[in-house]
Amino acid sequence: MIKELVKGNRSYRRFFEDEKISMDTLKDLIDLGRLAPSGKNVQPLRYILTNEEEMNKRVFPHLKWAGYLKDWGGPIEGEKPSAYIIIMWDKTLPTSRDIAICDLGIASQSILLGAREKGLGGCIFWSFSRKDLIEVFNIDDKYEPLQVIAIGKPKEEVVIDEINKDGNIEYWRDKNFVHHVPKRKLDDIIIG
């Protein structure tokens, strides 16, 4: 069952933008991050949530979409995310950067599996203008924005393929706009 959730939790980049996401739903998702393990239990992550059109419009321009899809500039009007979660690290707490970033992965995956269970989907961004988001949200110096998760009701099909012999891991879109993600084989990632 968890396998179906994990398999179904792909990076979605096109959404039914008019499907709104309530603040309660976003808080339910953050709660999964809150309950997940944290290195030395420091829990150094902090969250900013947005689900309103006005604020979403101020976040969107600062995200860099789908590096491998050179001809695609991101979702068009009507297919943009309905909400964003900005995840920050409180640098004043006694944990290392490595542990904070591992906590980030643990929390992100928990949040996205929760989104999937609710029929939603999302996409994790590393590539975004930190400087601009700090300005948009007036983020205090003690926080470092690490990641943005875009959330919405997915409007695209994403499939997992077995990696080709050439070893190319770049995702791509076919002529029907289906998004393909080549994954390495189990035997190739287990050593010894």
Cβ–Cβ under 8 Å, residues 87 and 145: yes
Binding of residue 40 to a copy of itself (CB under 8 A): yes
- Sign of the alpha-carbon dihedral angle for 14, 4, 126, 83: positive
Cα separation, 108 vs 126, whole angstroms = 12
- The values of phi and psi at residue 61, to 5°, are -65, -15
Q: Which of 25, 81, 124, 161 binds a copy of itself (CB under 8 A)?
A: 124
Minimum CB separation of residue 161 from a copy of itself in Å reads 11
Q: How far is the CB of 171 from a copy of itself (least distance, A)?
A: 6
What DSSP string runs through 7-44?
HH--B---B-TTS---HHHHHHHHHHHHHS--GGG---
| Interaction residues for a copy of itself, span 3-32 (CB under 8 A) | 3, 5-7, 9-11, 27-28, 30-32
Closest Cα to residue 113, out of 163, 151, 60, 159? 151
Using the minimum distance from each CB to a copy of itself, give the nearer residue, 2 or 18. Answer: 2
Q: Is residue 142 near a copy of itself by the rule CB under 8 A?
A: no
Question: Smallest gap, in angstroms, from Cβ of residue 101 to a copy of itself?
Answer: 5
Residue with tokens 């891991």: 169
Residues that bind a copy of itself (CB under 8 A): 1-3, 5-7, 9-11, 27-28, 30-37, 39-43, 45-49, 67-68, 88, 98-99, 101-110, 112-114, 117, 124, 126, 137, 143, 147, 160, 169-171, 181-184, 186, 189-192
